[in-house]
């Protein structure tokens, strides 16, 4: 990750009940948030990319960044990571699948997707 666009974890952590939300990456095109759950060794990923910001070159860049996020989660002993796009947002589901997530179920209008860390 580029140090100039990588926020320090201390600046971007927020406690939300039984988990901590951390902004692990941000640049002019989007950001990545991770929810760390204290009661289980699982994490939830939140991706946001601006419309029109998606190119093959940027995908390759984000794939490298994502691999470093996974390595960091693995160092913290996480074994699985989840994403929950809206059931109606097929574009988001395809984007998340491009990062190796597989659909495991649908609940309350959300698609639950996961991958091993």
pLDDT of residue 11: 42
Does residue 101 belong to any structural domain of this protein? yes
**Is 102 among the domain residues?**
yes
Q: Are 75 and 36 in contact (CB under 8 A)?
A: no
- Dump pLDDT digits (tens) for 27-54: 888 899 999 887 677 899 988 888 777 7
- Would you give per-residue pLDDT tens digits along the chain (117 residues)? 333 334 334 445 555 556 789 999 998 888 999 998 876 778 999 888 887 777 888 889 889 999 999 999 999 888 899 999 999 999 889 989 999 999 999 989 999 999 999
Number of domains in the chain: 1
CATH of the domain at 89: 3.40.630.30
pLDDT of residue 17: 58
Please name which of 14, 56, 51, 6 lies closest in space to residue 32, comparing C-alpha atoms.
6
The CA–CA distances, whole Å, from 20 to 2, 26, 36, 46, 56 equal 23, 17, 5, 13, 32
Range of the domain at 54: 9-116
CA proximity to 44, closest of 17, 64, 62: 17
The pTM assigned to this predicted structure is: 0.75
In a domain, 1, yes or no: no
Is residue 54 assigned to a domain?
yes
Long-range contacts of 35-41 (CB under 8 A, 24+ apart): 36/76, 36/78, 41/77, 41/78, 41/79, 41/80
């Amino acid at each position: 990750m580029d140090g100039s666009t990588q926020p320090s974890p201390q600046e971007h952590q927020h406690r939300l009940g039984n988990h901590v939300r951390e902004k692990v990456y941000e640049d002019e095109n989007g950001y990545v948030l991770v929810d760390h759950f204290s009661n289980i060794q699982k994490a939830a990923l939140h991706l946001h990319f601006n419309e029109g910001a998606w190119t093959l070159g940027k995908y390759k860049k984000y794939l490298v960044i994502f691999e470093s996020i996974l390595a960091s989660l693995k160092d913290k002993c996480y074994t699985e990571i989840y994403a929950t796009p809206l059931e109606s947002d097929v574009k988001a589901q395809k984007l998340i699948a491009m990062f190796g997530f597989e659909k495991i179920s649908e609940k309350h209008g959300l698609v639950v997707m996961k991958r091993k860390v």
